[in-house]
Amino acid sequence: MNPLDQLKQFTTVVADTGNFRQLAAFAPQDATTNPSLILKAVQQPDYAPLLDEAVAAHRSAPVDEIVDQVLVRFGREILALIPGRVSTEVDARLSFDTAATVARAHRLMALYEEAGIGRERVLVKIAATWEGIQAARILEHEGIHCNLTLLFAFCQAVACGDAGVRLISPFVGRIYDWHRKAAGSAWDEAAQAGPNDPGVRSVAQIYAYYKKFDIPTEVMGASFRNLGQILALAGCDLLTISPELLAALQAADTPVVRRLDPATARADTTVHAVSFNEASFRYALNADAMATEKLAEGIRAFAADAQRLDALIEDRRASPAA
């Protein structure tokens, strides 16, 4: 078996893409999308018709409603090609508004259900701010399952577990990026590789904590920069991987060894339970410069791409051909 097939023995492999025509080559269980991936996809000839059709069918609707139609259309196409779930993201501009996040999640789920797709096949993707986590708490209670994204700090993971969130997406590569930049010329790539990678260490800590205390929230490592990061997390509940790295895994000849194991985590006596209220959560997040910076940066980037998608829809709507 190639490394991708070996990895699937320990970990659920998820494709991180809006380019659903690539999915068949990798046979992932689930798939994730985000505003940046959807924006990139709809500007390609193969996928532009999905945007045009949504605009034509809902020309008089508010832009945010048309955006949700586009997101769900992509989700439906993806679900036709995979056996599992798709993650569809709430507008990042709502990341600090619990009520608005819940309302947008309701609308996304309603669109899926109108298309005959059950809740068990959809994860609503929400930024792991305090407000986003509280929105997820409400949604999970209603049977709408969530994927909390832009997760960089241990306090975010603990709060998500306490809220009963179905799945979290800690961002391995972006943590690595921050530490590499902060170290500058002192960065030692070889010494910080594999299990010593700061992003890998973050996910391993969260995984161990969840397994130690039987927290059912699924851990899905995300945002990878290289194969070493992926292989160092073999055994994680899920890993969401770009098509480029999925192809690299298929072509590699590196043996895959399980690195994360629930039995080992449960036996670890050094892991202790913690909890956070709003004040202590905000303090812990603020104390983590990396997490504070990367969370803010991620929200800004997704919000900017959401604005670009809005503008693209407005341009299509103004066109007589739309």
What phi and psi, each to the nearest 5 degrees, are found at residue 127?
-65, 140
Q: What phi and psi, each to the nearest 5 degrees, are found at residue 227?
A: -65, -30
Length of the chain measured in residues? 322
Task: Identify the CATH number of the domain in which residue 281 sits.
Answer: 3.20.20.70
Both ends of the chain: CA-CA distance in Å? 48
> Is the separation of the CB atoms in 20 and 77 below 8 Å?
yes
Q: Which residues in the chain come in under a pLDDT of 70?
A: 320-322
* Catalytic residue numbers, as ranges: 125
Q: Which of 200, 178, 162, 173 has its CA nearest to residue 281?
A: 162
Put simply, whether the predicted model's pTM sits higher than 0.85 gets the answer: yes
Q: How far is CA 309 from the centre of its chain?
A: 19
What is residue 321's predicted lDDT score, i.e. its pLDDT? 58
The 3-state DSSP class for residue 169 equals: strand
User: What does the buried/exposed string (b/e) look like for 28-37 if buried means 16 or more CB atoms within 10 Å of the residue's CB?
Assistant: bebbbbbbbb
CA–CA dist 296, 315 (Å, integer): 29
Task: Tell me which residue range forms the domain holding 63.
Answer: 3-318
Quote the CA–CA distance of 106 and 262 in Å, as a whole number.
Answer: 34
For residue range 66-124, list pLDDT tens digits in order: 999 999 999 999 999 999 999 999 999 999 999 999 999 999 999 999 999 999 999 99
Q: What is the largest CA-CA distance in the chain?
A: 67
Report the domain count for the chain: 1
3-state secondary structure of 30: strand
Instruction: Give, as one character, the DSSP assignment of residue 254.
Output: P
For residue 101, the Cα-to-chain-centroid distance in whole angstroms is 16
Residue from 168, 172, 143, 147 nearest 156 by CA:
168
Residue-level pLDDT at 35: 83
Residue 319 pLDDT: 81
pLDDT of residue 288: 98
Spatial contact of 108 and 139, defined as CB atoms under 8 Å apart: no
